Amino acid sequence: MRLSEGGRIDRSRTLTFTLDGEEYAGHPGDTVASALVAAGRVRVGDSIYLGRPRGVFSAGIEEPNAFLRVDGGAAMTTATTTPLVDGLSAWTLSGLGVLDEEPDDRVHDKHFCHADVLVVGGGPAGLAAALVAGRTGARVTLVDDQPELGGSLLASSGEEIEGMAALDWVGIVAAELTALPEVRVLSSTSAFGSYDDNYVLALEQLPSGAGTRLHHVRAQQVVLATGAVERPLVFPGNDRPGVMLAGALRTYLNRYAALPASRVTVLTNNSSTDELVVDLEAVGVAVTVVEAGRPDALAAVAAATAGQFAGQVLAVSGGWSPVTQLWTGRQGATRWDASLAAFVPDGEVAGQQVAGAANGAFDLDGCLWEGARAGAAAATAAGFSTSAPTFRAGSGATAAYAISPVWLLGDPADTGWQHEAFVDLQRDQTVADVAKALGAGMRSVEHVKRYTSAGTGADQGKSSGLVTAGVVAALTGREVGEIGVSSQRPPYAPISFAALAGRERGDLFDPERTTPVHDWHVEHGAVLEPVGQWLRPWYYPRVKADGTVETMDEAVARECVAARTGVAMQDASTLGKIVVRGADAGEFLNRIYTNAFKRLPVGSARYGVMCGVDGMIFDDGVTLRLAEDTYFMTTTTGNAAAVLDHLEEWAQTEWPELDVTMTSVTEQWTTVAVVGPRSREVIARVAPDLDVSVEGFPFMTFRETVLAGGVPARVCRISFSGELAFEVNVSGWHGRRVWEQVFEAGADLGITPYGTEAMHVLRAEKGFPIVGQDTDGTVTPQDAGMAWVVSTKKDFVGRRSHDRVDTRRPDRKHLVGILPVDGSRLAEGTQLVAAGADLTPPVPMLGWVTSSYFSPTLGRPFGLALIESGRDRIGSTVAAVVGDRLVDVEVTSPVFYDPEGERRDG
C-alpha cells in the first residue's frame, strides 16, 4: 500500500506502466520496484536455474532478483534502479536477459573532464566532503547514483543535521553546491571503475531513459563516500518472496511511502534494524523481532510468520559491508574489523580518501565528520587551503552500530536443509553447493566462487560476497576475517556496450580518409575498398551494351587490358608520402633502406626496401631526390604512419647526431598514375612544356613542370605495372581538376580509370610483391627474390640479421609464381603441400598462396606464393589443398609478363 503522506514521491502526478502486460501506477520519484511494492506486489521473475519464485529483495543496485527487460530500453536491468516513467513497459526476467536485436538508437555520449576533487557518493559524508572542498574554490565533481542527493538520509527518519531536518540540510547543501561556479553535481551517475592515477569512469543515466553519458574524469584527488550495502542471512527458505533486506524495507517505507505488508517479522544480528522497528510501528505495522543469534531463531521466525508469507514480510539483516569496489580496484588494502564484522579500507591509495560508511563509520556524526575531513584533506592536497568545519548531527541521529555476527542459521548436525538455504540468490547457489565445493577441496573463496559461480551474477555478489565467506567460515570452523572475499573488478554497475561505444559507431567508428578525387570516383560508379583508413576505388563497373552491369571480373579484365594495350589511369594519392630533409638525409636513408640512396642524383627516383632490425621486409616504395638535402619518400598506403614512426625512432633514438627531419605530406598531394603504351601521348597533351621522349625523360626520373591550365606539377616516370607509365603529382587543391584534365586529354584514346584490383593483377603479373600481402613479417628481401635490392657495401637496419643461421637456411620460404594446372583460380591463403600428398593429418605444409587473380593477359588464373625452397622448385609441381581434394600447381618464376622489361619505355 501507499502511505498517504511522507516519502520523496510526487503524489500530484500519477504515472502508469505495465509489467508483464499488467497495468500499475506510481508517482514521479518512484522506481519500478517501489511502485510494485506500493501496489502490494513483491513477486518478480523466477530464479535462474531452479525456477523458484522470487521477490523484490533490495532497494538498490545490489538487487539479485528483480531483473527486467524494458521495451525500447535496457535488455536487462534491475527494477530497483529503474526510475519510473509514464508509459513504461517492462517484462520480468529469470536472471538472464537476451541481447536486443534492435540497434540502440538512444543518445550515448561521452564527456571528458578534469577535477581537483572528485567525490563519489552523495550521502552525508559525500555532501560534507563536496561542500568543504567546493568552498575552497577547488574544481569539484560530485557523482551520485541516485536521482536525488542524500544517500542513506533519503531512507531514514527523524534525523537532524545542524539543527534542522536532515533532508532540509541536504537541500541547502545541494543549493550551495549548485551555486558554486567550480562545482559540478552529477546525479543518476554511477562511478563504476577507478583506474590508474585517479581516472574514474562514471555513467550518467539521462532523464526519462533518453540514454547515457559516460564521464571520463581525471581527478587530482578522489573522495570515496560510497556508503555500505546490507548483507542477508542464510537459512532454509531465505529466498522466498517476502524475504527482504531490512534496510530496503526501510527505504520503501520512508523514501517511497510504500509498504508491502501489514505484518513484518525482523530477523537480525545487528542494531541497524532498531530504527526500522520504530518506523514500522509508527505507521501501525505489527512487528516481531527475532535475534538471529538465538538458538531457536528459526523456530521463532516460523512462529511469528506462522509459515505464511502472503501479506507478510520477513526483513533480514546480516549487518553492513562498506562498498569498497572502487578502493580495491586501485589495489587499496582492506582489513577485517571484528567490531563491525566487515572489511574496511586500510592503508593508502595515492590521492584518495575514504569517508563515511565506506570507511566503516556507520553513525551520522561519524559520516559528517569523516566527510568534512576528507574534503578538506583532498582540497588541501590539490593546492587549496581550508580548515574543515564540523557538521553536527542532532539527537535523533543513527546510534552506534552493534553486531553479533551470525551468517548461517540451521542445524549443523543435519544437512537436509542446506539445498534450500541460499548464499547467492542470483546464481541460485546454496549452502549445499558451497559444502560441495569445500568437499572437492576448495578452500580459498576465489576457488569456491569459481566452483559454485556464487558472486558471478549480474549483481556481482554485492550483498552476498561476504555471506559466502561467512558460510565457508561456518562450515569449516574458520574465521571470516581470515577467509576474506573474492576480488571485485570493474564495472561496479552493469554498463551497456552502447554506452561504451558512445557515438563511435557506424560512420564514426573509425576515421574514413578520402582523396580530393573521391567524389569523382563515386560519381563514376566506383566500387570502393577500404585500405587502411582510406576508401579507394576497387573497380569501376560499367553498364554493358545489353543494359546489365559488368561483374567485378569483367570490369577488372577490361581495366587491365586498357593498361596493357592503351592507356589507363589510377588515383594513387593514398600512397604515404614523407619529406626527408636535412644535411644528412642521404646518409639517413642509406641506413634505413637496404639499398643506397646517398648518391641518388637530384631529379632521379629509386625503388627501396626497408627492413626491421630483424631483417624482415617492413615497407617499400619509390623515393625521389628533390634537392641535395631533400628526399621525397613514398610508402605503402596502409603503412605510412608506421613508416614515419620507424624513421622518427631511428633518427631520434639511435642517430640523434644526424641532421634530418621527417614531415608527412601524404594529404598535401594528389597523384594521378597514367599507365599504358599510349600514356606518353596523354602526358604530352596535359604537360605541353615537358619533353616526354624516352631520351628526354628516362625511366626513374622526374620533372617539375606546369600543366596546361597553369597547375604546377611534378611528373615521375615510374611504373608499378611494367608498362610505360607516368605519375602526375599536384597540390591536393587542384587534385580533382587535374584528374579530370587527364581524363579528358585521354578521352579519344579510351583512357580507362582503374581500381586497386586491376592494379594488383598488373603488378602480380610482373611479380612485384605487396608488403603485408605477399610478405608477413617473416620474409626477408632475399626470400622475396629481391637480393638485388640489398646492398653488400654498406650497413643498414637489419643487415646483420640477414647473416643469421636462420635467415640463410636454404629451405626458407621463397616468393614464387604459381599456375594451377587445371586452370582454376585458387583462394588467397590456400595451403600448398607436396604433389600427391596423403591428406591424413599431420600433412607437412610447404607454403601458401599469397596472391591469386585471373590474368586477362595470360588468359588464365595465376598467383604468387610463399613456398619452402620455392626457387629450387621452379618447374616442378606442388599441390593446393582445395577442400578435401588436391589441385596440382606448377611452380614458376614470379615474373609472368615481360621478363625482359621491354615495355616500360613504351
Which residues of this chain interact with another protein, rule CB under 8 A? 195-197, 199, 218, 331, 350, 613-614, 645, 648-649, 652-654, 795, 799-801, 803-805
- Closest by alpha carbon to 70, among 33, 27, 39? 33
482 vs 803, beta carbon nearer another protein: 803
CA 505 from chain center: how many Å?
Answer: 12
Neighbours of 842 (CB within 10 A): 5
Least separation in angstroms between residue 655's CB and another protein is 9
18 vs 801, beta carbon nearer another protein: 801
First to last CA, the chain: 93
149 vs 617, beta carbon nearer another protein: 617
Least separation in angstroms between residue 591's CB and another protein is 10
| Residue 735: strand pairing partners | none
524 vs 800, beta carbon nearer another protein: 800
How far apart, in Å, are the Cα atoms of 372 and each of 133, 225, 471? 8, 11, 37
CA 717 from chain center: how many Å?
Answer: 46
Least separation in angstroms between residue 198's CB and another protein is 8
350 vs 399, beta carbon nearer another protein: 350
**Rounded CA gap, 739 and 306, in Å?**
90
H or E element, residue 813:
strand 813-820
Handedness of CA 303, 308, 311, 317 (dihedral sign): positive
Burial of 561 (0-12, 13-18, 19+ CB in 10 A): middle
- Closest by alpha carbon to 109, among 502, 509, 504? 502
How far apart, in Å, are the Cα atoms of 663 and each of 341, 516, 577, 668? 64, 20, 9, 11
Helix axes 166-179, 124-135, angle to 10 degrees: 30
Least separation in angstroms between residue 513's CB and another protein is 17
Least separation in angstroms between residue 55's CB and another protein is 41
195 vs 451, beta carbon nearer another protein: 195
How far apart, in Å, are the Cα atoms of 855 and each of 227, 255, 270, 851, 893? 71, 77, 84, 12, 15
- Closest by alpha carbon to 682, among 730, 759, 739, 735? 739
43 vs 794, beta carbon nearer another protein: 794
3-class secondary structure, 579: strand
The residues, ordered by sequence, that sit 6+ positions from 308 with a Cβ below 8 Å of its Cβ are none
- Please tell me the total number of residues recorded for the chain in this structure: 906
Least separation in angstroms between residue 785's CB and another protein is 24
| Amino acid sitting at position 458 | A
59 vs 651, beta carbon nearer another protein: 651
How far apart, in Å, are the Cα atoms of 444 and each of 19, 437, 484? 41, 10, 8
Least separation in angstroms between residue 643's CB and another protein is 13
Least separation in angstroms between residue 651's CB and another protein is 10
Least separation in angstroms between residue 277's CB and another protein is 47
Least separation in angstroms between residue 331's CB and another protein is 7
Least separation in angstroms between residue 438's CB and another protein is 33
219 vs 818, beta carbon nearer another protein: 219
Least separation in angstroms between residue 195's CB and another protein is 5
13 is written with which cell numbers?
Answer: 502526478
**Rounded CA gap, 850 and 97, in Å?**
44
**Rounded CA gap, 81 and 65, in Å?**
12
199 vs 699, beta carbon nearer another protein: 199
291 vs 614, beta carbon nearer another protein: 614
524 vs 804, beta carbon nearer another protein: 804
Burial letters 735-761, b for 16+ CB under 10 A, else e: bbebbebbbebbeebebbbbbbbbbbb
23 vs 648, beta carbon nearer another protein: 648
Least separation in angstroms between residue 792's CB and another protein is 11
